[in-house]
């Protein structure tokens, strides 16, 4: 993008943001976060985590409501019908009727239906909690990956700017030699190398912006609000010991995916129990107390007035006051929906759920073993890359001195510089891989 620009023009292009800042005011100061802070915030405030928390809260409230299904239910019932004597046969309509009662319903025996309802509601809470934990873990992993990727891009940009400065100094040296009659081809080669590094810096800047916006979204922040990741360039290369590795494998059963699979198996067991006990006897107790009477065409019904000529409306209410208790039972004799085939279907679902739980446990153990392998390999590459960078740096310094004394060619110097850049890129990649393995191990164990 800056190919062929003179140093003054290049400085002018780089100074444009400074002039814009003077004209339009200072840019917002970015908030600084460590990788650990990004992980903590994402696990609590990521949009997907907030959704999972809301789903978990709904399941908890449903479970609270289901836990009260052992209590009797009360309800007011009532109604009134007015049928004047001239409209229908009074013997059929009783001249209207009314009722106002307080009723109570209490299942005495339900074949375990209410117990299974409570168990299913509790299981829904457990499953939603596992989903919440899994989503929070994945949000933390995503935040760690984005933050570490930003650190890697920052390191690569720092390496590229150092390489640009080095090439600019080399270009100045070569251009002074060209003015003294040296080979112009060397100057062109260096300028092409400068252009490539400037283009690389532009790509890195663009990618950092995209990573920053995505990380802001994961953290529940406005993507337009800038942020900055702070952290040390040094990453520990220690990997878990054999004892720690075995402990990780033993804790694979505690992973949210595995526990959710076992919770699904428990749900299949409840469904099987419901299919087996569907034909059990159910017994319900109902009681009510209140007012019930007929003949709403007059305040005191005719039959009451015949027995008591001085009866009042209060006498009518006393006569209509009463209570009742009823006991009902239900025992299915032939129910096609409770056939043996239904029970067999639920048994097959229970076997499938058990197999899925076992497969989830095996998958989690394999993932942990793969993680340990990746961690060890990344730590080895990190150690090797640090040594390679040191050797490549010494090699560049030696060839640079030899080139100044005429003992080496420009192509050899540029090749050595490319080797140093490649070594630094491998170092940044190894830092990223090692950091990702450490955080993945921290969040998955």
- What's the rounded mean pLDDT across residues 236-252? 73
Scanning the structure block, which residue is given the tokens 């804790």? 251
The alpha carbon torsion through 94, 97, 102, 104 (nearest 10 deg) reads 50
**Is residue 216 within 8 Å of residue 147, measured between CB atoms?**
no
Distance CA 149, CA 229 (A): 10
- What's the rounded mean pLDDT across residues 102-124? 84
pLDDT digits (tens, 9 = 90+) for 276-299: 777 678 888 888 899 888 888 888
Other CB atoms within 10 Å distance of the CB of residue 413: 23
Q: How many domains does the chain have?
A: 1
Q: Which of 137-151, 318-332, 399-413 has the highest mean pLDDT?
A: 137-151
Distance CA 319, CA 64 (A): 42
Give the residue numbers spanning the domain of 367. 235-281+338-445
Listed in sequence order, the residues at least 6 apart from 426 whose beta carbon sits closer than 8 Å to its beta carbon are 381, 385, 388
**Chain-wide mean pLDDT for the chain?**
82
Give the residue with greater pLDDT, 4 vs 404.
404
- 182 located within any domain: no
- 364 located within any domain: yes
Q: What confidence tier does 344 reach under pLDDT thresholds 50, 70, 90?
A: confident
The pLDDT value recorded for residue 10 is 34
- 68 located within any domain: no
- 317 located within any domain: no
3-state secondary structure of 109: strand
First to last CA, the chain: 47
Q: Can you list the alpha helix ranges (DSSP code H) found in 321-339?
A: none
Out of 123-137, 247-261, 323-337, which region has the weakest mean confidence (pLDDT)? Answer: 323-337
- 243 located within any domain: yes
The pLDDT value recorded for residue 337 is 61
Give the residue with greater pLDDT, 179 vs 122.
122
- Whether the per-residue pLDDT at 310 is higher than 90: the answer is no
Of 279, 275, 277, 264, which Cα lies nearest the Cα of 351? 264
- Whether the per-residue pLDDT at 391 is higher than 70: the answer is yes
pLDDT digits (tens, 9 = 90+) for 116-144: 888 888 889 999 999 999 999 999 999 99
Q: What confidence tier does 153 reach under pLDDT thresholds 50, 70, 90?
A: very high
Other CB atoms within 10 Å distance of the CB of residue 30: 12
- 36 located within any domain: no
Output the pTM of the full model.
0.74
Distance CA 288, CA 295 (A): 22
Q: What confidence tier does 4 reach under pLDDT thresholds 50, 70, 90?
A: very low
The pLDDT value recorded for residue 13 is 37
Distance CA 65, CA 443 (A): 34
DSSP string, 336-387: GGGSHHHHHHHHHHHHHHHHHHHHHHHHHHHHHHHHHHHHHHHHHHHHHHHH
- 179 located within any domain: no
Tokens of 189: 């080669």
- 417 located within any domain: yes
C-alpha atoms less than 13 angstroms from C-alpha of 240 in its C-beta half-sphere: 22
- What's the rounded mean pLDDT across residues 178-189? 72
- Whether the per-residue pLDDT at 384 is higher than 80: the answer is yes
pLDDT digits (tens, 9 = 90+) for 195-215: 999 999 999 999 999 999 999
pLDDT digits (tens, 9 = 90+) for 424-435: 999 988 888 888
């Amino acid at each position: 993008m800056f190919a062929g620009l003179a140093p003054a023009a290049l400085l002018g292009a780089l100074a444009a943001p400074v002039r814009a800042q003077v004209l339009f005011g200072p840019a917002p100061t970015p908030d600084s976060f460590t990788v650990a802070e990004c992980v903590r915030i994402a696990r609590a405030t990521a949009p997907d985590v907030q959704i999972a928390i809301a789903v978990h809260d709904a399941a908890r409230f449903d479970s609270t409501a289901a836990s009260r299904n052992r209590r009797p239910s009360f309800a007011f019932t009532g109604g009134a019908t007015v049928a004047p004597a001239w409209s229908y046969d009074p013997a059929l309509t009783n001249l209207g009727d009314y009722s106002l009662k307080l009723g109570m319903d209490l299942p005495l025996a339900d074949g375990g239906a209410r117990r299974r309802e409570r168990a299913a509601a509790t299981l829904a809470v457990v499953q939603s909690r596992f989903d919440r934990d899994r989503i929070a873990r994945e949000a933390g992993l995503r935040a760690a990956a984005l933050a570490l990727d930003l650190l890697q891009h920052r390191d690569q940009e720092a390496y590229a700017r150092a390489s640009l400065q080095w090439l600019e100094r080399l270009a100045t040296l070569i251009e002074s030699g060209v003015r003294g009659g040296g080979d112009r081809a060397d100057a062109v080669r260096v300028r092409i190398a400068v252009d490539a590094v400037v283009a690389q810096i532009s790509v890195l800047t663009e990618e950092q912006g995209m990573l920053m916006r995505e990380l802001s979204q994961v953290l529940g922040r406005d993507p337009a609000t800038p942020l900055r990741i702070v952290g040390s360039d040094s990453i520990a290369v220690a990997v878990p010991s054999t004892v720690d590795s075995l402990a990780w494998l033993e804790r694979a059963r505690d992973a949210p995916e595995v526990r959710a699979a076992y919770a699904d198996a428990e749900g299949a067991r409840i469904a099987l129990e419901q299919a087996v006990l569907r034909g059990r006897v159910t017994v319900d107790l109902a009681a009510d107390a209140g007012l019930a009477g007929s003949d709403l065409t007059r305040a005191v019904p005719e039959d009451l007035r015949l027995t008591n000529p001085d009866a009042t409306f209060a006498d009518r209410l006393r006569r209509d006051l009463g209570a009742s208790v009823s006991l009902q039972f239900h025992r299915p004799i032939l129910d096609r929906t409770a056939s043996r085939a239904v029970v067999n279907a639920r048994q097959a679902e229970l076997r499938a759920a058990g197999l899925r739980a076992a497969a989830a446990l095996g998958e989690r153990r394999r993932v942990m073993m793969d993680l340990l392998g990746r961690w060890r390999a990344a730590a080895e590459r990190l150690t090797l890359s640090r040594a390679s960078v040191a050797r490549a740096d010494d090699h560049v310094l030696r060839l640079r001195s030899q080139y100044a004394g005429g003992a080496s060619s420009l192509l050899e110097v540029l090749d050595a510089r490319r080797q140093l850049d490649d070594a630094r890129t491998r170092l940044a990649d190894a830092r990223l891989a090692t950091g990702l393995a450490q955080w993945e191990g921290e969040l998955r164990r």
